[in-house]
Amino acid sequence: MRKKIIAGNWKMNMTPSKAAAFLNENKAACESDTADVVFCVPAVDIIPAVEAVKGTGIEIGAENLYFQDKGAYTGEIAADMLVDAGVKYVIIGHSERREYFAETDETVNKKVLKAFEYGLTPIICCGETLTQREQGITIDWVRMQIKIAFLNVTAEQAKKAVIAYEPIWAIGTGVVATTEQAEEVCTAIRKCIGEIYDAETADAIRIQYGGSVSAASAPELFAQPDIDGGLVGGASLKPDFAKIVHYDEQ
């Protein structure tokens, strides 16, 4: 039985002091006995966020990392910096990073390998545009993203990975994918992992849905057999996130 994982993605929101205040106010409500709960926060918020959730079961994640160990890469953040700061998860290849910061499937793969090298759990994002969905190539597209993201990743590593299926047209738009659409692609992703590795790896890997998840849509989405939780943007900046964490108690 896979444990659900509900992760917030704060994107470029919350100053360090606001991050600490928000987590201190909401951490008790966001703890869960049944799901892993993660807040992925801006780099400067990581240290106060780790401090704020100390002693709870909540983990802090980063929103990005660089694939080199160290050196002359002004503005970038290395895996060992994240580890030293207390980070456990890192979002890799979010569609906003692909669109605005020229990330490719190849850089995503390098970052995934770097995350594993340092013991960080990658939350690997994939998903189609509206045009791709309308053209009927969603599953082909997502399979390609997954196959490149997992190049040279071992089965043991893949079992620990988290994949976030996020249709781009559903991100920040308030247009959530239907339960059937989300489950169809998450099932296809699991099948693809089974083809790359084996049935055991496909069964172990956790696949989230992301894109306008709310307290209202979470219960049905997260109850699907191939959806193991969510990557939540806008709603993770509000106390409502606790309701999403406790989607099965509503």
**Rounded least distance, CB 213 to ligand PGA, Å:** 5
206, β-bridge pairs: 162
C-beta closer to ligand PGA: residue 202 or 237: 237
C-beta closer to ligand PGA: residue 78 or 122: 122
C-beta closer to ligand PGA: residue 78 or 125: 125
List the catalytic residue out of 59, 63, 103, 166: 166
**Rounded least distance, CB 116 to ligand PGA, Å:** 21
Closest listed residue to residue 37, CA positions, set 4, 14, 1, 84: 4
**Rounded least distance, CB 150 to ligand PGA, Å:** 20
Shortest Cβ contact with ligand PGA: which residue? Answer: 233
Q: Residues 6 or more apart from 7 whose CB is under 8 A from it?
A: 37, 38, 39, 40, 61, 89, 91, 123, 162, 164, 208, 229, 230, 231, 232, 236
59 included as an active-site residue = no
Do the beta carbons of residue 82 and residue 65 sit within 8 Å?
yes
Backbone angles phi and psi of 6, in degrees to 5: -110, 115
Helices and strands in the chain, H and E counts? 12, 8
246 included as an active-site residue = no
**Rounded least distance, CB 208 to ligand PGA, Å:** 9
Binding site for ligand PGA (CB under 6 A): 9, 166, 171-172, 210-213, 231-235
List the catalytic residue out of 94, 103, 183, 246: 94
- Enzyme catalytic residues: 94, 166
